[in-house]
Amino acid sequence: MKVKTTCYKINELFETIQGEGSFTGQPSIFIRLQGCPVGCSWCDTKHTWEIDPQLQVASDVMLGKTQESDYWSELSIEQILETITTEGYQAKHIVLTGGEPCMVDLKPLCEALEQAGFSCQVETSGTFEIRVSDNCWVTVSPKVNMRGGYEILTSAMSRANEIKHPVATEQHVDELKALLAEHQITTTPVYLQPISQKPRATELAIKTCIENNWRLSVQVHKYLGIE
């Protein structure tokens, strides 16, 4: 009997510096999965939303991309580990992002990566069940009232190691406060992230962080001009 190989649809796989949240400044390997139905209007990775079979390409084409595109490859866990070795990546922290990575079961991938000596982090909207290893660091960036109509899950909020919330207006702050109260979140670190680095959003985030003893996440990679 042939054992089914676990594969993942991947838009990008690259090494950089984590620019957000608790791991800001950490050398990291990003694995960006394809597919997301949440529909955030200000999303900066809209090219990962659709899974179009006609846009599936070979892994070398996906790895060789020099600009954002909706081309994606399907890689097995073994191929992912082999790619990391072949590319000569040195980082030992891996970020699973998207798209919405929690649309699929990430536990086999996390466990294989951890067994190979990596630490894992997943970045999710909190609208899908989080299926990861016990040691995986979970960053929930709750997406409230988005076009896709998905609700934030209590299980996702409870599993979060950190909550990273994009803000541009007072309404975004009010939505977060209501969400924290609804799910009885009191001790999980909260980061506010100004949307698009706009001055007014940044000023609001700073003021709100001081008022609530929250933390600021400024997307350092965008200020540095790196991916």
Residue numbers in the known binding site are 17-19, 32, 36, 40, 42-45, 97, 99, 141-143
Enumerate the known binding-site residues for [4Fe-4S] cluster.
Answer: 36, 40, 43
Enumerate the known binding-site residues for S-adenosyl-L-methionine.
Answer: 42-44, 99, 141-143
215-216, strands of its sheet edge to edge: 73-76, 7-17, 27-33, 93-97, 119-124, 137-140, 162-167, 190-194, 215-216
The dihedral formed by the CA atoms of 24, 26, 30 and 32, expressed in degrees to the nearest 10: -10
Enumerate the known binding-site residues for substrate.
Answer: 17-19, 32, 97
- CA atoms of 147 and 81, how far apart (whole Å): 35
> Measured in whole angstroms, how far is the alpha carbon of residue 112 from the centre of its chain?
19
- CA atoms of 189 and 200, how far apart (whole Å): 23
Enumerate the known binding-site residues for Mg(2+).
Answer: 45
Closest CA to 34 of 16, 18, 57, 17: 57
- For 13, the token pair is 């796989």
Q: What is the DSSP string of 170-221?
A: HHHHHHHHHHHHHTT--SS-EEEEEGGG-HHHHHHHHHHHHHHT-EE---HH
Amino acid at 168: A
